[in-house]
Structure 1
Amino acid sequence: MLIRTEAPADILAIDRLLKSVFETEAEADLVMTLRENGHLTLSLVACTDEGEVVGHLLFSPVTIEGDDLSWQGLAPLAVAKAYQGKGIAAALVEEAFSTLPEFGYPACVVLGDPQYYGRFQFKPAADYGLHCQWEVPPGAFQVRSLTEYSVAEQLAGRKGLVEYCPEFNGL
């Protein structure tokens, strides 16, 4: 399995993957729109030895109370159904967590299952006074530092609303 940055030749394969994994085409449309609008910070793919794209992970910018702190939002994360449960999603996430800090991105947020994302050291964002722009179940909105500095140290007393790129409002 090869984990690498998306290439232009991967765009249609990513689109097909997202449409096959999610119930609607909303995530595929979101990724395409983020890409077209230049709001794609990091897009990774997992490929088989034959070059088939079987996993995808995307990060895009988020703001805290309107301030750009270079934080990122993880969404979406997808693995082809035939390849789920084989550690591909974890490999994508770990690769991203080693890559993002190299480019100066100190932390990220995710909206998802706390049990699943907890294994990647995500913590409830509410513990740091952060909340999502949408109404979500308790604990579903989570945050994680990507550097040696804790989330609290990075926030330096800031708290409040975390907003994703406007493209997410169409979901």
Structure 2
Amino acid sequence: MLIRTEVPADILTIDALLRHSFDTEAEADLVMTLRENGHMTLSLVACNEAGEVVGHIFFSPVTVGGQDLGWQGLAPLVVKAEYRGQGIGQTLMREGAEILAELGYPVVVVLGDHSYYRKAGYVTAAEHGLRCSWPVPEEAFMVQELLPPALSGHQGLVEYSAPFSVLPA
């Protein structure tokens, strides 16, 4: 499995993967809007031996208490149905975290399945005094510190960029 940075030729393939993998087209529309409006920090794809894109992860900026601290939001993460359960999502998260840390981005937040993201090193954000701007279960909003002590001294509301407001609640 090859993990690499998204290139322009991947955009339509990623869009199709997102449209096929989620119940609505909201995630695909979100990624396209974030990309077009300069809110993409990092986008990685996982390719099989034939070069087919079978997974995707996307990171974009978030604010904490109204401040831009270089923190990133992971959304979305997707793996083609027939490739799930092979560790591709975990590998995408690990590679993404390594690249973001190398680039100086200190923290990543994610909204999702606690048991799944915990395997990648995420912890409940509330443990650090952070809360999500949407009404979600506390255990679903998680954080990972890439460059300690970036979480120290920062608490409050974490907000994603405006294009996220189009997602269904």
Compute the TM-score of the two structures, normalised by the length of structure 2. Answer: 0.96
In the alignment, the residues of structure 2 paired with residue 15 and residue 76 of structure 1 have an alpha-carbon distance, to the nearest angstrom, of: 12
Partner of 1:52: 52
Residue-by-residue CA offset, 1:48-72 (whole Å, 9 max, x unaligned): 1211110000000000011111010
| Corresponding residue of 1:20 | 20
Determine the structure 2 residue equivalent to 1:31.
31
**Could you tell me how far 1:156 is from its partner in structure 2?**
3.6
Give the AA of the match of 1:95: E
Compute the displacement of 1:86 (Å).
1.0
Contact 2:5–2:43 (8 Å) recurs in 1: yes
Q: Please say if residues 145 and 151 of structure 2, whose CA atoms lie closer than 8 Å, have aligned partners that are also in contact.
A: no
Whole-Å separation in 1 of the counterparts to 2:139 and 2:12:
34
* TM-score, length basis structure 1: 0.95
Q: What's the % identity of the aligned pairs?
A: 60
Per-residue deviation at 1:95? 0.7
Q: Does 1:154 align with 2:116?
A: no
Q: Tell me the equivalent position of 2:160.
A: 164
Alignment length (residue pairs): 167
Unaligned runs of 5+ in 1: none
Aligned to 2:135: 135
Deviation at 1:11, TM superposition (A): 0.3
Instruction: State the SS of the aligned residue for 2:153.
Output: coil
Code of the residue aligned with 2:158 in structure 1: it is V
Q: Kindly report structure 1 stretches of 4+ aligned residues shifted beyond 4 Å.
A: none
* Separation (CA, whole Å) in 2 of partners of 1:57 and 1:41: 11
Within-5 A mapping of 1:54-133: 54-133=54-133
The residue aligned with 2:5 is 5
Q: What is the aligned partner in structure 1 of residue 144 from structure 2?
A: 144
Cα distance in 2 for residues equivalent to 1:165 and 1:90: 25
